[in-house]
Amino acid sequence: MTTRIDQRFAQLKAEGRAGLVTFLMAGDPDLGTSLEILKSLPAAGADVIEVGMPFTDPMADGPAIQAAGLRALKAGTTLKKTLALVESFRALDRTTPIVLMGYYNPIYVYGVERFLQAAKQAGVDGLIVVDLPPEEDDELCLPARAAGLNFIRLATPTTDDRRLPKVLENTSGFVYYVSLTGITGAALADYSGVEAAVTRIKRHTNLPIAVGFGVKTAEGASQVARAADGVVVGTALVNALKETLDAENRAAPQTVAAVSELVTALAGAAHGARGAGDGRRARPSWLRRIFGRIAP
């Protein structure tokens, strides 16, 4: 089985560069705007797109992504509408990998077999379900892989060499290395341990390693991309979106551009980190105000 995820990381490897993996919540701040943002991401430089499935009890998410999920739920986003969102995107883009990320409860309520059929039909390529451990692979992981979907697992700084083989046993697509313990949104102040962590994980697998949690700026993306196969950014994009909303959390004319311009800055940094071109593009002034100095 070769998926769009496998093909994209093979392409990135051949080009000698790291990829940018972007996360945004489906339906934030509304389904129409969410679709327009998704459509803008590939041209802005996103190599893989993670789409959050809104859930009422997101235990691993920080305040920004929790708020994004609540905005999406308030706007009427359901799992069925999330799949429809992906299907609408896929009608216009046949190559960019899409990963659904979230929690098992909505999938269980939807029905595993029904969900997997609908996800495959919509054009989903992989799943990240953060609250299903490897011991529960029969529940969703193995059926997902049988359906032709990658099942992507998280490794953390506390996943030691004894635990890693179990975590990686049925993982496919890529390994998502969580660069710090805790919830999403915290800043990663020290990137020095990323290379050692990636090297350690690669001793156990040939899969690409994407690093996330704590990457907020293009400068940070560049540092991570020197060691990892992919850089995952979520909270910074969610914050860029939130900064444009009005007092009632409605989208503004600049909402789509706010996200896509930040993605362009991050992609330029990630893609250029290994000398495959410096990736320099104009950085809008509002980005500098919100995130500080943005360097490639």
* Residue 40 buriedness (CB in 10 A; 0-12 / 13-18 / 19+): middle
Distances (CA, A) of 97 to 21, 100, 238, 294: 10, 10, 20, 27
For residue 176, the cross-strand partners are: 154, 210
Distance CA 89, CA 98 (A): 10
Coil, helix or strand for 50? strand
Distances (CA, A) of 259 to 132, 175, 204: 30, 25, 35
Which residue type occupies 205? Answer: T
Query: Which one is catalytic: 6, 47, 61, 125?
Result: 61
> In the block, which residue shows the tokens 């308030």?
74
Distance CA 168, CA 205 (A): 7
**What is the separation of C-alpha 40 from the centre of its chain, rounded to a whole number of angstroms?**
15
Peptide bond between residue 42 and the one before it cis (omega within 30 degrees of 0): no
Query: Which one is catalytic: 30, 47, 50, 261?
Result: 50
Q: Is 61 a catalytic residue?
A: yes
Backbone Cα Rg of the chain: 18
The closest alpha carbon to 27, from 11, 38, 16, belongs to 38
Q: Is 248 a catalytic residue?
A: no
Size (the chain), residues:
296
Catalytic annotation, residues: 50, 61
